[in-house]
Structure 1
Amino acid sequence: MTDTDTGTNTGAGTDTATATVTGTRGDEAAAVKETGFITAVIRAMEHERPDAYLADHHAELLSTPRSRLMAREALAAGGTVGSVIVRGRFGDIALQEAVADGVTQVVCLAAGSDTRAWRLGLPARTRYFEVDLPGQLEAKEALLAPVADQLACDRVALSEDLRGETWPRRLREAGHEPGRATVWIVEGLLPYLRLEHFAGLLSRIRSLSGPGSVLLVDAPHSAYFRDPANEEFLAFMASRGSAFRLGLDDLGGLLGAHGWRAEAYTLGGLAEGACSWVPEPPARLCPPRDHHWVARARLA
């Protein structure tokens, strides 16, 4: 991967975020970067609803003309919004509970357009590490400049490819303390990985986690790939260079095999009240074809 220059959001129709992160159509890393800003558009759309399930008042700043166009294309091809919105609310609640319990380290992997460091009012003692591909976090920072004063916690940004071997070392060098409790956020990444890459990522996270650590993760259910209703969207993602690869029959079981005690829910299960600490999402966010897992796990 190569570093890219970061521009400034002029507010005059310049799509700075996408200009910063977009490469050729065949560049898979660039395509995955673009997807991060698509999810910001989806969160902004939800925030504007009178019955919003997720509040993200900063997502609109990341909704550039280019990312809005890409979001329309993705939704027209059959993309769903439920997994983005539900994992967002699920993660907000779990993160705030962990911080209230005294955890002061947060690591958001493939941070993309995540805005929690700005919008959740995390305590100043919280160190919030964000890791993503070169160019992604710089683009986000430029677009969120108008709300820079709302960043109360200590945020540390690292440009790294999570498929590589250097990010754990750089994380430690940046001040992360492996012996202490950490909240790990891994949202929206797993569809693009192969199982062996996810297993390797879990092993690295486990080695960097102290007692009391929490892992927040989501992934497609394997049924997502078998459902004919999703064929058009899967083809669309493959055509733009960001093919979905990983679906899991049992996310909780896989996490358990890597040393985590997990509670894992499908969107349908959440809509039926399977999780006592998360408000039931509305049916519009849990359509039958959106086969998706969200999970909270603690060290076993």
Structure 2
Amino acid sequence: MTHPTRRDAESDTAAASQTVRAVEAVEAVKETSFITAVIRAMENDRPDAYLSDPHAALLSTPRSRRMADEALAAGGTIGSVIVRARFGDEELRRGIAEGITQVVCLAAGSDTRAWRLGLPPATRFFEIDLPGQLEAKEALLAPVADRLACHRVSLGADLRSDTWPERLRAAGHDRAARTVWIVEGLLPYVRIEQFTRLVGHVRESSAPGSTLLVDAPHTEFYADPANARFLAFMESRGSAFRLGLDDLGGFLGRHGWQADAYTLRQLSAGACAGFPPPPARLCPPHDHHWVARARLA
């Protein structure tokens, strides 16, 4: 009979600590999703609201409101949350008008589009997020369950793994049909190699004519001293920002997509034809952020 050595015990302790930290990091990222719901609810209540999301208030729990207050007090910005949501709304409506009937929302978190956009009943709206996230959202949105006109399918999966595409296919996603893919608010929390793999999976699961809607911090976000306090705050709560890109459109182009990418300031200046320019209050100088729409030829 062998007995564990001190080294074995230390190794087991280190492994256990690493597992705990990983679980805590996942929970922190899941909580952040409901912070964005609070921000959308705040915008919806403004008389000059740029984004309409009447259901976001249902996701604004006392805990998420407290976390949002802490994030905003630390210098967090609201512009990227609101502008990317409006951008996604406009582009999703455009895709539906062009006859696309499949939508896949990755890291769906507190996204309420399936409920609030009045999508046609023939639309299949797939949502993927970490296990437990979508169930929590569904429970909070129970009062507006009758607003869900499209066919919604939810999947609990970690997008950092390579198994979610096959699970999505098994759930009814048709790779031969065009899809609108939505990836909002995820990229700050992943590494470039993870994003590269994710974009590859999306491309492999897409028919020609599919659309990818994605946002990401600009690298300048990390270099701007005005954001130092917020970045430290996010790191302290276990959901550190990691990814920044100098050229989101160029990155997508190198991975098979025809992309148009805009910073918030470019959108505010009217650079995106057909898109309502966001007000200056949503595009402060220190909110360095990309939004992009990309098409698979």
Q: TM-score range by the shorter chain?
A: over 0.9
Q: Is 1:152 aligned to 2:143, yes or no?
A: no
Q: Is 1:239 aligned to 2:227, yes or no?
A: no
Residues 266 and 241 (structure 1), Cα distance of their counterparts in 2 relative to 1, 3 Å cut: same
Q: Is 1:256 aligned to 2:253, yes or no?
A: yes
AA paired with 1:71?
A: A
AA paired with 1:243?
A: A
Aligned length: 278
Tell me how far apart the structure 1 counterparts of residues 49 and 296 of structure 2 sit (CA, whole Å): 33
Return structure 1 stretches of 4+ with deviation > 6 angstroms: 23-26
CA positional deviation for 1:211:
1.5
Aligned counterparts, 1:103-252, within 5 A: 103-252=100-249
Q: Is 1:28 aligned to 2:28, yes or no?
A: no
CA positional deviation for 1:233:
0.2
Unaligned runs of 5+ in 1: 1-22
Match of 2:56 in 1: 59
Q: Secondary structure at the match of 1:108?
A: strand
- With normalisation by structure 2, the TM-score equals 0.92
CA positional deviation for 1:278:
1.0
AA paired with 1:180?
A: A
Tell me how far apart the structure 2 counterparts of residues 119 and 26 of structure 1 sit (CA, whole Å): 32
Tell me how far apart the structure 1 counterparts of residues 29 and 254 of structure 2 sit (CA, whole Å): 28
CA positional deviation for 1:25:
9.8
Tell me how far apart the structure 2 counterparts of residues 186 and 150 of structure 1 sit (CA, whole Å): 23
Tell me how far apart the structure 2 counterparts of residues 233 and 40 of structure 1 sit (CA, whole Å): 18
CA shift digits 1:73-102 (9 cap, x unpaired): 000000000000000000000000100100
Match of 1:278 in 2: 275
Tell me how far apart the structure 2 counterparts of residues 94 and 194 of structure 1 sit (CA, whole Å): 26
Match of 1:269 in 2: 266
Q: Is 1:78 aligned to 2:71, yes or no?
A: no
AA paired with 2:177?
A: R
Residues 31 and 109 (structure 1), Cα distance of their counterparts in 2 relative to 1, 3 Å cut: same
AA paired with 1:294?
A: V
AA paired with 1:267?
A: L
Say if 1:26 and 1:240, in contact at 8 Å, map to a contact too: no
Larger Rg: 2
Q: Secondary structure at the match of 1:293?
A: strand
Residues 168 and 26 (structure 1), Cα distance of their counterparts in 2 relative to 1, 3 Å cut: closer
Tell me how far apart the structure 1 counterparts of residues 266 and 180 of structure 2 sit (CA, whole Å): 24
Q: Is 1:288 aligned to 2:285, yes or no?
A: yes
CA shift digits 1:128-178 (9 cap, x unpaired): 000000000000000000000000000000000001121111100000011
Tell me how far apart the structure 2 counterparts of residues 72 and 122 of structure 1 sit (CA, whole Å): 32
Match of 2:11 in 1: none
